C-alpha cells in the first residue's frame, strides 16, 4: 500500500519552494500525494494563486478556507482558529500517514496543531532558522517541537533544531529548495519576461518585497514609507518591480501604500503574484533586491544579486557578502541602495552556496519514501551533552 503523504501549502512563495517536492511525491510509486491548499491561494485579494497549482496539473485533495478579510491581530488569530477546524476535518477525511509542512506562517501553525492532535507524524522543512523581527520565529520553533522529521537548509540550523531537543538522527541537512530553484530552474529570457510582465526593464532595476515586521518596535507603515521615499528618490531611470505583502498583520495597509506609490509612476509596477518562474527570472536580471523577504537572504545570494535587507525581520539568518543590512529609516535605506548599486559592489558580488547547491527536493522525497514511520510520533527529548550538540548522526543523513 502506498504511503499517503499530505503536503500543505498556503502561499505563492511557499508553493514555489515546494513544487519539486510535490512533483517528486506525485511521481514516486511508493507514495500517494495528498495536496491540501489553504490561505492566500484561495483568496482573490491575493491573486487566487491556486490557479498556478492547477496549471501545473497537480491534483488537489482538499481546500481549507481560513482567511478572514482582516489583517488585524484579532483577524489573524481568528483565521488561525478557522484553519485549525478546517485541517482537523481534512486530515480526518484524508487519513495521511505523514504531513509535510514548510516554514512558519499561521496557516502552518494551524495545520501542525491539527496533525499533532490527530497523532499524524509531521515532516518540517526550514526549521532551526531565526527571524527576530517577526512572530514567525516563535511559530517556526513551535512547529519544530510538534514535528518528527526535520529538513534544514544549513548545518547551523541543524544544530539549533537539536538544541531544541530533537533527536540528531531525525534532523537532515538538505540545503535550500529556493537556492536549488535559483540555480537549476530554466529561467525566462529578458524578452519573454518583459512580455509576460507587460513592463520593460530599465537602465537600472530593483525587485522589492516588504512584508509586515510583526515584532518590530518601529511601526510597519513608517518602515514602508521610509523605504518608498528612498526608492522614489532614485529617479525614473530606475525601474521598480514590487511584489505585494503577505496576508500578515497589517499586510493590507502596506499593500495599499505600494499601490499609491506605483499609481502614476511610469517606472514602477506592482504584482500581486509573479509565481516562482517569473519571480526568479526577474531576480536574475535586476541590479538588486530590496525589502525584508527571506528571498533576499536565500535566493538572491544564490544568483550573486545584491540585497538591501531592511530592519530586523530576517535578523538571525545566515548572511552572504552580497547582503547589506540597514535600519528601517530613509537615510539608512538610501545609503544601502547607493552601496549595492555601485559598480564596485556589484562587480565584487559572487554566487553564495551557504544554503546548498542542489539536490534538496530529491533528498526530501527520498526520506519521505524510505524513513520508517513506526514509533515516530512518540518522541523523547534529546538532551545536549555538557560540551554542546551531540555530533552523532550524519549531518547529511541521506
- pLDDT tens for residues 251-297? 888 999 999 999 989 999 999 889 889 999 999 999 999 999 989 99
Grouping H, G, I as helix, E, B as strand and the rest as coil, residue 387 is coil
The whole-number average pLDDT for the span 89-116 is 96
Grouping H, G, I as helix, E, B as strand and the rest as coil, residue 7 is strand
Distance CA 295, CA 284 (A): 12
- Contact between residue 90 and residue 277 where contact means Cβ atoms under 8 Å apart: no
Q: What is the pLDDT of residue 371?
A: 97
Distance CA 188, CA 207 (A): 16
pLDDT in tens, 59-84: 999 999 998 887 788 988 999 999 99
The radius of gyration of the chain's CA atoms, rounded to the nearest angstrom, is 20
Sign of CA dihedral 233, 234, 239, 243: negative
Quickly tell me which residue has 509573479 as its cell.
Answer: 274
The three cell numbers of residue 305 are 544579486
The whole-number average pLDDT for the span 242-251 is 81
Q: Which helix (H) or strand (E) holds 23?
A: helix 12-27
Distance CA 126, CA 309 (A): 20
Assess whether pLDDT exceeds 60 at residue 123. Answer: yes
From 238-252, 272-286, 297-311, 370-384, the region with the lowest mean pLDDT: 238-252
Mean per-residue pLDDT of the chain: 91
Grouping H, G, I as helix, E, B as strand and the rest as coil, residue 166 is coil
| Predicted confidence band of residue 395 (pLDDT cuts 50, 70, 90) | very low
What is the phi/psi pair of residue 151, to 5°? -115, 110
Distance CA 254, CA 221 (A): 6
Tabulate helix, strand, coil % of the chain (nearest 5): 45, 15, 40
- Contact between residue 150 and residue 166 where contact means Cβ atoms under 8 Å apart: yes
| Predicted confidence band of residue 133 (pLDDT cuts 50, 70, 90) | low
From 2-6, 111-115, 270-274, 306-310, the region with the lowest mean pLDDT: 270-274
The whole-number average pLDDT for the span 108-134 is 93
Q: What is the pLDDT of residue 284?
A: 95
Q: What is the pLDDT of residue 386?
A: 76
324, 305, 128, 5: CA torsion to nearest 10: 160
Q: What is the pLDDT of residue 112?
A: 98
Grouping H, G, I as helix, E, B as strand and the rest as coil, residue 252 is helix
What count of other Cβ atoms lies within 10 Å of the Cβ of residue 394?
12
- Contact between residue 208 and residue 239 where contact means Cβ atoms under 8 Å apart: no
Q: What is the pLDDT of residue 137?
A: 87
Assess whether pLDDT exceeds 50 at residue 36. Answer: yes
Q: What's CA 236's distance to the chain center, in Å?
A: 31
Going across the sheet that includes 98-102, the strands are 62-64, 31-38, 3-9, 98-102, 122-125, 149-152, 171-173
Quickly tell me which residue has 530554466 as its cell.
Answer: 186
- Contact between residue 169 and residue 190 where contact means Cβ atoms under 8 Å apart: no
What is the phi/psi pair of residue 239, to 5°? -90, 135
Q: What is the pLDDT of residue 388?
A: 56
Distance CA 246, CA 212 (A): 8
The three cell numbers of residue 84 are 485549525
- Ordered domains of the chain (ranges, CATH): 3-175+359-370 (3.40.50.2000), 188-348 (3.40.50.2000)
Q: What is the pLDDT of residue 201?
A: 97
Q: What is the pLDDT of residue 252?
A: 84
Q: What is the pLDDT of residue 214?
A: 66
The whole-number average pLDDT for the span 35-59 is 90
| Predicted confidence band of residue 385 (pLDDT cuts 50, 70, 90) | confident
Cβ within 8 Å of residue 348, ≥6 positions away: 321
Amino acid at each position: 500500500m502506498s504511503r499517503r503523504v499530505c503536503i500543505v501549502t498556503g502561499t505563492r512563495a511557499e508553493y514555489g519552494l515546494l513544487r519539486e517536492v510535490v512533483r517528486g511525491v506525485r511521481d514516486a510509486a511508493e507514495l500517494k500525494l495528498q495536496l491540501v491548499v489553504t490561505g492566500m491561494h484561495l483568496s482573490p485579494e491575493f491573486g487566487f494563486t491556486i490557479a498556478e497549482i492547477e496549471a501545473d496539473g497537480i491534483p488537489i485533495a482538499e481546500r481549507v478556507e481560513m482567511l478572514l478579510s482582516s489583517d488585524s491581530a484579532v483577524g489573524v488569530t481568528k483565521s488561525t482558529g478557522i484553519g485549525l477546524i478546517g485541517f482537523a476535518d481534512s486530515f480526518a477525511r484524508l487519513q495521511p500517514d505523514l504531513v509535510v509542512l514548510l516554514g512558519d506562517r499561521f496557516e502552518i501553525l494551524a495545520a501542525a496543531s491539527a496533525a499533532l492532535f490527530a497523532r499524524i507524524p509531521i515532516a518540517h522543512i526550514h526549521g532551526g532558522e531565526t527571524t527576530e523581527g517577526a512572530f514567525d520565529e516563535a511559530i517556526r520553533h513551535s512547529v519544530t517541537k510538534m514535528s518528527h522529521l526535520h529538513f534544514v537548509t544549513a548545518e547551523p540550523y541543524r544544530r539549533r533544531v537539536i538544541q531544541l531537543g530533537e533527536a540528531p538522527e531525525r534532523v537532515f541537512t538538505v540545503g535550500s529548495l529556493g537556492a536549488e530553484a535559483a540555480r537549476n530552474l530554466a529561467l525566462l529570457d529578458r524578452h519573454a519576461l518583459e512580455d509576460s510582465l507587460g513592463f520593460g526593464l530599465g537602465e537600472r532595476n530593483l525587485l522589492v518585497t516588504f512584508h509586515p515586521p510583526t515584532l518590530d518596535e518601529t511601526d510597519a507603515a513608517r518602515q514602508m514609507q521610509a523605504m518608498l521615499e528612498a526608492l522614489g528618490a532614485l529617479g525614473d531611470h530606475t525601474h521598480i518591480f514590487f511584489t505585494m505583502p503577505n496576508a500578515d498583520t497589517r499586510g493590507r495597509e502596506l499593500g495599499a501604500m505600494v499601490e499609491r506609490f506605483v499609481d502614476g509612476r511610469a517606472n514602477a509596477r506592482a504584482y500581486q503574484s509573479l509565481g516562482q518562474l517569473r519571480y526568479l527570472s526577474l531576480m536574475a536580471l535586476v541590479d538588486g533586491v530590496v525589502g525584508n523577504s527571506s528571498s533576499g537572504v536565500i535566493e538572491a545570494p544564490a544568483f550573486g544579486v545584491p540585497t538591501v535587507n531592511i530592519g530586523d525581520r530576517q535578523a538571525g539568518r545566515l548572511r552572504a557578502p552580497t547582503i547589506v543590512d540597514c535600519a528601517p529609516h530613509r537615510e539608512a535605506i538610501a545609503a544601502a541602495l547607493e552601496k549595492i548599486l555601485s559598480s564596485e559592489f556589484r562587480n565584487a558580488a559572487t554566487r553564495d552556496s551557504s544554503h546548498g547547491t542542489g539536490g534538496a527536493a530529491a533528498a526530501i522525497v527520498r526520506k519521505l519514501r524510505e524513513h520508517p514511520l513506526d514509533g515516530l510520533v512518540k518522541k523523547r527529548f534529546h538532551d545536549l551533552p555538557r560540551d554542546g550538540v551531540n555530533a552523532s548522526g550524519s549531518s547529511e543523513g541521506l
